[in-house]
Amino acid sequence: MRPPLSVVIAARDEALGLPCLLADLATAPELVREVLVVDGGSRDATPRLAALAGAMVLHDGRGRGGQLAAGVARSAGSWLLLLHGDVRLPPGWASALAVAIAAGESSAWAFRLRIAGDDPALRLVELAVELRSRWRQLPYGDQGLLLGRRLHDAAGGVAPLPLMEDLEFVQRLRRQARIGTLSLALLVNGRRWQRLGVWQTVLANARLRRAWRHGTPVERLAERYYLPTAQGAYQKAQRRCSGSSSQP
């Protein structure tokens, strides 16, 4: 029998971290049938590095929802693992996923969350996310999502949204099946938390979710979400240019 798992990764400008994730996945050929990296318009070597690692590389500029939807559409496995490109899999991940797959398609699964960084406030955020995941069955996209293809299709699949695609999908998915939490934690890059500050990030995310629930178009929310990143890059470029300019 062929390995059951298709891994779909939404990535953009992840050349520094993506090779490590792909190396993690390469350790379980008995489980992973294929890896599909869907690039969202990277300005770095993300697509080239993914191809060198043996992944199928696709391109979709509609945001993470569109990327994941495009990857699922091209995948062939009976099980799907949906990931963001800035995560690392924990030791023992393959065994944990194999056990979940063997239990059948009646449940979907997300990892626990671990945010890279030493700030104690991050540990509080992780605890809140775990409680939300276990009590309300509402994991975030950062936690990854493991589910059978038939369950994915029954729930209607990931919508090609530029933002909130994870929340919108799991709200539909939990009406079809239980969404359990694995005992292992996925490590996610902490750059957004470091750039904005932990509590500022929590507040910004909460405001985005509230605006979405009140009907604000996701395209406008995506602009709000990615604006701090663009501003940070602009300010960094300004400092670099200022530092290299000649003085009169």
The CATH code of the domain that includes 93 is 3.90.550.10
Does residue 202 belong to any structural domain of this protein? no
Does residue 146 belong to any structural domain of this protein? yes
Does residue 201 belong to any structural domain of this protein? no
Contact between 70 and 40 under an 8 Å Cβ cutoff? The reply is no
Does residue 238 belong to any structural domain of this protein? no
Does residue 187 belong to any structural domain of this protein? yes
pLDDT-derived band of residue 20, with 50, 70 and 90 as boundaries?
very high
Q: Which domain holds residue 118?
A: 5-191
Does residue 226 belong to any structural domain of this protein? no
| Ordered alpha helix ranges (H), 75-119 | 93-102
pLDDT tens digit sequence for 170-223: 999 999 999 999 999 999 998 888 888 888 888 888 888 888 788 888 788 888
Does residue 215 belong to any structural domain of this protein? no
d(CA 135, CA 102): 24
The structural domain count of the chain equals 1
Does residue 41 belong to any structural domain of this protein? yes
Q: Tell me the mean pLDDT in the region 36-64.
A: 95
